[in-house]
Amino acid sequence: MTVIVRDFRPADAEAWVRVRRAALPYMVTTVDQVLGDLACAGPAMRYRPLVAEEEGEVIATARVGLAHESPQPGLGFCNPYTHPDRTGRGAGSLLVSAAEEYLADVGARSVHTWVLDEPANRAFAEKRGYVASRSAHFLHLDLAHGTLPPLQEPPPGTELRTGADFADDPRPLFDADAEVTADEPSDTPAELSDYEDWLTSVWRKPGFDQELTSVVTVDGEVAAFSAARTDGSARYSSAMTGTRRAFRGRGLAKLAKNHSLHRARAAGYTDAYTGNDTGNGPMLSVNAWFGYTVCATEVRHVRHLIR
């Protein structure tokens, strides 16, 4: 049987979700989100999703593009996933080769990817010249049967709100997101500077849940937030939780996240997921306080392209 690589088509969305959920069940993936990724990607991202197909069946997928929000030019990404029942057919190798060729053509100097921390996956990456750089944990919280910390009353001058409260003017949330993102440890740093792009790629993107996103204000100013993504059914994911620099050390991120988790459970969501760098001890401790446990680990790898 022959495996071929081709560009993603909208008709592939359900197959894409099937592969991603099987290969990476720790992330919220829906058809609307997959189509939204394609529709919301700006030209600077050079986004090109690929699929590997065998006898008409999509057996592997890859997100490919440029980290356009990074101040460092030429950072490419390729995240391939093969359905666990269809490994060993060469689909991953074909996807990576096609992605590297494309990324080199659009100006990438390096390719970054995440690899599940399993011997076969790490060997796959290392054989192709990828070098491990850092690692991160996926964490899971059983909302249906677990026990969340009790809700706390906000301190004086502090108010708990939702993302939906900012529907008429989300600019304060953009400013907070930009500040928190700039401080996030990463080998592909990002700078959020384009408000219109943020509206398209974050605020209005399918899966971003404005109602379950919690925002803490202090004297009317956005101080902390916990952004939520959902599949509209059972699965909830923390997209970003953070506090602006002037308000750190007050426990406001905990306050926001606890508020969001309680409302997610009340809305019927049963499983919550998040992720943290393995070296981010403070955030891992916060998530352990909520009851999250590590369910998988990914290792970031990079390969520098020869041009």
Q: Identity (one letter) of the amino acid at 287?
A: N
Model pTM score? 0.92
How do residues 110-139 score in pLDDT, each as one tens digit? 999 999 999 999 999 999 999 999 999 999
Mean pLDDT across 252-269:
97
Mean pLDDT across 221-236:
96
Residue 70: count of CB within 10 angstroms of its CB: 16
Per the structure block, which two tokens stand in for 10?
A: 């909208």
Q: What angle do CA 64, 185, 47 make, to 5 degrees?
A: 15
Confidence label for 278 from pLDDT (cuts 50, 70 and 90): very high
pLDDT of residue 307: 61
| Domains of the chain, earliest start first | 3-108 (3.40.630.30), 141-298 (3.40.630.30)
Phi, psi of 62 (to 5 degrees): -155, 130
